[in-house]
Amino acid sequence: MDEPALQAVRARLADARKVCVLTGAGMSAESGIPTFRDALTGLWSRFDPMQLASEEGFRADPRLVWDWYAERRLGVRAAQPNAGHMALATFAARHPTRLTLVTQNVDDLHQRAGIVETIRLHGDILQDCWLNACPRGRHCEPGAAAPAQPPRCSECGNLVRPGVVWFGEMLPPAALDAAQHAARESEVMLVIGTSGAVWPAAGLAQLARRAGAYVVIVNPEPSEIDAQAHAVLRGSAATLVPALLDGL
């Protein structure tokens, strides 16, 4: 651990009136939730990611995709927030107006740690939604669908799908707008556990820096956006995030 760099970032965090935090898959991996690529193991290793995480793949084989997400959901429900999640939640509770949390993760670990108001860029793996707009113009809840794998409407046949953003889909506009606003308004931006390879989320660090924020990247390995950072701290989220926030 680079102690002088750590203390320099702590000083910035202590003085900041607005802190934006972006978390990626590395944050949840330490709780035992595999990254998207790492989840393609065992039985699933023979499938193309586009087959399991795209509308086209789902339409081609709904049951296959549904079963993969069912397995991932079991892993999310079994996982627990780690020390990094808890440190962020404690800081947010101590300073209710200072921290805005943006996540690329589709699990609910930040929420279970205590940060209910989380901006979720890529959706929620534990929620369902309809695949198509209802042809009858009704607003039925997906939970009313007839049980199957996947469930489908007993009247029109509309399929239920996981409430996540798939390849080729746009991010939820409200979530992206809120994340970009938080990045622009921040005085310090922490980017934790992301490779910086997925856009437009990866562009938030550059957006924050251009607006005058002090950008810090926390990641065990080099990321594609390290050049946007004023400080890069090498290490795990579960170790470094508490070290950065404890006592602030």
For the residues 231-236, what does the mean pLDDT come to? 96
Annotated active-site positions, please?
Answer: 122
pLDDT for residue 44: 46
Angle between helices 237-245 and 3-15 (to 10 degrees): 50
For the residues 142-154, what does the mean pLDDT come to? 92
Q: Check pLDDT > 90 for residue 135.
A: no
CA 194 to chain centre: 9
For the residues 135-140, what does the mean pLDDT come to? 82
Which DSSP symbol is given to 232?
A: E
Range list of H helices, the chain: 3-15, 25-29, 49-52, 55-60, 62-78, 83-94, 109-113, 173-185, 203-210, 237-245
At residue 45 the predicted structure's pLDDT band, cuts being 50, 70 and 90, is low
The full set of domains in the chain, from first to last, is: 1-32+80-122+170-248 (3.40.50.1220), 34-78+125-164 (3.30.1600.10)
Is the four-CA dihedral 86, 91, 97, 100 of positive or negative sign? negative
Which residue, 65, 97, 94, 71, is CA-closest to 247?
A: 94
Full-model pTM: 0.93
pLDDT tens digits, one per residue of 199-214: 899 999 999 999 999 9
pLDDT for residue 138: 80
Q: Check pLDDT > 60 for residue 112.
A: yes
Average pLDDT, the chain: 93
For the residues 21-31, what does the mean pLDDT come to? 95
For the residues 179-192, what does the mean pLDDT come to? 98
Pairwise pLDDT comparison (68 vs 102), residue with the higher score: 102
pLDDT for residue 49: 73
At residue 137 the predicted structure's pLDDT band, cuts being 50, 70 and 90, is confident
User: Among 4-13, 41-50, 159-168, 235-244, which is the least confidently predicted range?
Assistant: 41-50
Pairwise pLDDT comparison (73 vs 39), residue with the higher score: 73
At residue 228 the predicted structure's pLDDT band, cuts being 50, 70 and 90, is very high
Percent of the chain with pLDDT over 70: 95
